[in-house]
């Protein structure tokens, strides 16, 4: 029997290909991998194909680990995925840029996207660059003298309709989606490395991109936005 804390299950879904991985997190090695390609002329995939693919593979993985899969990470690629680049400039009346000032700016950006694209779910939010007055930086500089801070950010969002349909199918296997990742975003992070998509996903979740901000549910309490979910200061 395998301890579930030692592995992660990833389901990669695109419009014409399905992949499933069982990753040994300690050794960064796939204990199980299956792939299926198919023709598709729809905007979304044929969900009957997905159900059949899961029927063929979930039991085999559960037999391998000796227990039921409870959670799975989705890696999605679909032409309906929305990529938005947005900038925001904020005057800093205290002249010193603090982590709290940056936090408030990021929350404002996140809420702006969420309110204007309510039919979408944010998968990735990351900072492309910082402009402290007239000075550009790729990384955050804490406690720097600055009257105006500008951020260039990118949001990657997936239609709620798509994830709800996928989640509905996974529920039939008593599996919940733990997070949603964008395949092309992952590949862009690791384009110089010859590694499996499952390893890309795992390293991304561990904070590989120091400028990525993890999106947390609004109902999460007693946890600071930076304390647990923001990777910039690790």
Domain ranges of the chain: 4-79+159-208, 82-158+219-229
Specify which residues 124 forms β-bridges with.
156
Q: Please state, for a pLDDT cut of 70, what percent of the chain lies above it.
A: 88
CB count within 10 Å of CB 1 equals 7
122 in Cβ contact with 155 (< 8 Å): yes
Distance between CA atoms of 14 and 76, rounded to whole angstroms? 6
Q: Which residue has the tokens 């069982």?
A: 22
What is the rounded average pLDDT for all residues in the chain?
A: 87
Whether residue 117 is predicted with pLDDT greater than 70 in this model: the reply is yes
Whether residue 130 is predicted with pLDDT greater than 80 in this model: the reply is yes
Q: Up-side HSE of residue 46: CA atoms within 13 Å toward CB?
A: 11
Output DSSP code: residue 139.
S
Q: Which range, of 20-29, 49-58, 139-148, 172-181, averages the lowest pLDDT?
A: 139-148
Instruction: Provide the pairing of β-strand 96-97 with 144-145.
Output: antiparallel
Whether residue 121 is predicted with pLDDT greater than 90 in this model: the reply is yes
How much is the pLDDT for 215? 63
Distance between CA atoms of 229 and 214, rounded to whole angstroms? 5
Place 99 in a pLDDT band, splitting at 50, 70 and 90. Answer: confident
Whether residue 231 is predicted with pLDDT greater than 70 in this model: the reply is no
How much is the pLDDT for 33? 98
Specify which residues 7 forms β-bridges with.
24
Whether residue 52 is predicted with pLDDT greater than 90 in this model: the reply is yes
How much is the pLDDT for 43? 62
**Could you tell me which CATH number the domain at 4-79+159-208 has?**
3.30.420.40
Between 82 and 215, whose confidence is greater?
82
Place 58 in a pLDDT band, splitting at 50, 70 and 90. Answer: very high
Q: What are phi and psi of 212, to 5 degrees?
A: -90, 140
Please provide the size of the chain in residues.
234
Cβ partners under 8 Å of residue 224, min gap 6: none
Cβ partners under 8 Å of residue 214, min gap 6: 229, 230, 231
Whether residue 221 is predicted with pLDDT greater than 60 in this model: the reply is no
Specify which residues 131 forms β-bridges with.
136, 150
How much is the pLDDT for 216? 54
Whether residue 185 is predicted with pLDDT greater than 70 in this model: the reply is yes
CATH topology of domain 82-158+219-229: Dna Ligase; domain 1 (3.30.1490)
How much is the pLDDT for 233? 43
Handedness of CA 43, 79, 210, 228 (dihedral sign): negative
């Amino acid at each position: 029997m395998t301890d579930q804390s030692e592995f992660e299950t990833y389901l990669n879904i695109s419009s014409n290909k399905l992949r499933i991985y069982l990753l040994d997190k300690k050794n960064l090695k796939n204990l199980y991998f299956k792939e299926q390609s198919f023709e598709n002329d729809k905007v979304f995939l044929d969900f009957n194909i997905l159900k059949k693919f899961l029927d063929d593979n979930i039991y085999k993985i559960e037999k391998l680990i000796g227990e039921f899969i409870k959670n799975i990470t989705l890696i999605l690629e679909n032409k309906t995925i929305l990529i938005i680049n947005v900038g925001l400039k904020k005057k800093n009346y205290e002249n010193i840029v603090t982590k709290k000032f940056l936090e408030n700016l990021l929350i404002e950006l996140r809420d702006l996207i969420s309110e204007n694209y309510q039919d979408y779910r944010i998968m990735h939010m990351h900072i492309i660059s910082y402009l402290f007055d007239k000075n550009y930086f790729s990384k955050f500089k804490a406690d720097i003298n600055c009257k105006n801070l500008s951020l260039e950010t990118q949001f990657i969002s997936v239609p709620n309709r798509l994830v709800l349909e996928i989640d509905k199918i996974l529920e039939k296997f008593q599996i919940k989606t733990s997070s949603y990742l964008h395949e092309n975003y992952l590949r862009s992070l690791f384009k110089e490395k010859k590694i499996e998509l499952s390893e890309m996903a795992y390293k991304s979740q561990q904070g590989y991109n120091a400028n990525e901000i993890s999106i947390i549910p609004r109902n999460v309490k007693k946890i600071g936005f930076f304390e647990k979910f923001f990777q910039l200061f690790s």
